[in-house]
Amino acid sequence: MSILVTGVAGFIGFHVAGRLMERGESVIGLDSLDDYYSVALKRARIKELRGRHGTRFHFNQTDFADTVALAEALDPLSFDRIVHLGAQPGVRYSIENPHAYARSNIVGHLNLLEVARQRDSAHFVYASSSSVYGGNETLPFKVEDRVDHPRSLYAATKKADELMSECYAHLYRLPLTGLRFFTVYGPWGRPDMAVWTFTKAILEGRPIDVFGEGDMRRDFTYIDDIVTGVLAALDNPPADDGASKAGGSRAPHRLYNIGNNKSEELSRLIGVIEAACGSQAEKRLLPMQPGDVRDTFADITAIERDLGFRPTTSIEEGVPRFVAWYREYYGI
Ligand code: NAD
């Protein structure tokens, strides 16, 4: 039976779909190809998946926030599990365009939960975010911590997704797993994120904007580790046994952090990118941006205990792989 992967033209969806098909699964990929960033890059990812996996891959361009269009698109298709990675991402853009987040992340998430309920899906895995921890000051962040103080509407919509999911797990006994990803980077990455923007500017000889004066810390997680965590979660649906799950639910709903379990100073990341690019960055030190949090750091005890997941890629290994991919992709 196929697996439905939403956001398949996106950074993480592309890699998750690829790994699923490498191990022999068939994937129905859904994406609206929205223009939040380069549509050409999204199309290139789809082309790559088609080239590598042929008929194992079925792509459907649909907006999952459009309830009628989604029902029409999925009606003729069979799948028993859902990996819901499509969303409007980005903390800073949620200040400019809040409605995009309400639409894709709240209406869209509800639409996918409804699909799972109507089809009695065997497992629904979805993307949450480290941003739900907001301004929490106790590090590392644990899935048991309270997350009631978001710093951006993006974070608030991801927390809303977790709450809607909990409700569906309770009412309909639907097995659900929410994954709080921590700053993901790697080949085929996202052009709005720091590793990409710094690499691009350094290679073009332009200055880089360093927010938080360089002393923000992030738990940077390499894409291959994220994909390993997503598949480990997908393969182990939570039991409906009344026991307390990671994140505290007694319904079949778990929450896990997937991070590298290492909080790195932005200035150290820049040093690693400079080394991989072979040139120094000219830094413009700027204050933190509205919506940003100063530090992130994932406690991964829960996913390690339940699924045996541990990340294996340091930024010293992962960043040069990204820079090599970037140079090859753009021919520079
Ligand atoms: P991405 O933007 O590269 O991928 C998301 C994809 O979803 C895009 O291709 C977009 O076109 C699609 N999409 C958006 N709205 C849609 C809609 N209404 N209908 C159909 N498709 C739609 O982002 P990503 O980095 O791959 O993130 C994947 C998931 O992980 C998202 O839920 C994101 O919030 C979450 N996340 C990512 C990170 C990270 O560091 N990349 C960190 C935390 C959480």
d(CA 86, CA 108) in angstroms, rounded, equals: 9
To the nearest 10°, report the CA torsion of 320, 332, 22, 63: 110
Q: In this predicted model, what pLDDT tens digit does every residue of 241-300 receive, in sequence order? A: 999 999 999 999 999 999 999 999 999 999 999 999 999 999 999 999 988 899 999 999
Q: Determine the atom of ligand 1 nearest the C-alpha atom of 86.
A: 7
Q: Determine the atom of ligand 1 nearest the C-alpha atom of 37.
A: 2
Residue where the block lists tokens 């949090």:
293
| Beta-ladder partners of 209 | 284
Q: Band of the pLDDT at 38, cuts 50, 70, 90?
A: very high
Does residue 197 form part of some domain?
Answer: no
270 CA distance to ligand 1 centroid (A)? 25
Q: Determine the atom of ligand 1 nearest the C-alpha atom of 34.
A: 11
Instruction: Compute the Cα dihedral for 315, 318, 322, 328 and give only its sign.
Output: positive
Residue among 184, 192, 255, 296 to mutate when testing ligand 1 (max atoms within 8 A of CB): 184
Does residue 10 form part of some domain?
Answer: yes
List the structure tokens of 210: 């360093």
Does residue 237 form part of some domain?
Answer: yes
Does residue 14 form part of some domain?
Answer: yes
Phi, psi values for residue 186, rounded to 5°: 150, 180
Does residue 218 form part of some domain?
Answer: no
pTM above 0.95, yes or no: yes
Does residue 279 form part of some domain?
Answer: no
279 CA distance to ligand 1 centroid (A)? 31
Q: Band of the pLDDT at 102, cuts 50, 70, 90?
A: very high
Q: What is the pLDDT at residue 1?
A: 86
Residue among 11, 33, 125, 227 to mutate when testing ligand 1 (max atoms within 8 A of CB): 11
Query: Which residues have CB under 8 Å from 71's CB, separation 6+?
Result: none
Q: For 59-68, what is the mean pLDDT? A: 98
Q: What is the SS3 assignment for 206?
A: coil
- Residue 299 neighbours by CB distance under 10 Å: 19
Q: What total of structural domains would you count in the chain?
A: 1
The protein residue with its alpha carbon nearest to ligand 1, atom 14, reads: 87
154 is catalytic: yes
Q: Determine the atom of ligand 1 nearest the C-alpha atom of 84.
A: 32
- Structure letter (DSSP) for residue 186: -
d(CA 31, CA 178) in angstroms, rounded, equals: 20
d(CA 51, CA 47) in angstroms, rounded, equals: 6
Q: For 29-56, what is the mean pLDDT? A: 98
The protein residue with its alpha carbon nearest to ligand 1, atom 2, reads: 10
Does residue 273 form part of some domain?
Answer: no
* Contacts of 77-80 spanning 24+ positions with Cβ under 8 A: 77/2, 77/4, 77/28, 78/1, 78/2, 79/1, 79/2, 79/3, 79/4, 79/28, 79/119, 79/121, 80/1, 80/2, 80/3, 80/119, 80/121, 80/122
List the structure tokens of 141: 């962040």
Q: In this predicted model, what pLDDT tens digit does every residue of 156-181 receive, in sequence order? A: 999 999 999 999 999 999 999 999 99
Residue-number span of the structural domain to which 94 is assigned? 2-182+223-261+297-312
Q: Band of the pLDDT at 72, cuts 50, 70, 90?
A: very high
Instruction: Return the closest-CA partner of residue 10 out of 34, 79, 90.
Output: 34
The protein residue with its alpha carbon nearest to ligand 1, atom 6, reads: 7
Considering 133, 154, 256, 326, which one is annotated as catalytic?
154
Angle between helix axes 108-119 and 153-172 (nearest 10 degrees) is 20
231 CA distance to ligand 1 centroid (A)? 17
| Beta-ladder partners of 256 | 179
Give the E-state strand segments of the chain in sequence order: 2-6, 27-31, 57-61, 79-84, 123-129, 176-181, 184-185, 208-210, 217-218, 221-222, 253-258, 264-265, 283-285
Ligand 1 binding residues, C-beta < 6 A: 7, 9-13, 31-34, 42, 63-65, 85-89, 104, 108, 127, 129-130, 181, 183-184, 190
Does residue 323 form part of some domain?
Answer: no
273 CA distance to ligand 1 centroid (A)? 24
Question: Which CATH number covers residue 238?
Answer: 3.40.50.720
- Structure letter (DSSP) for residue 141: B
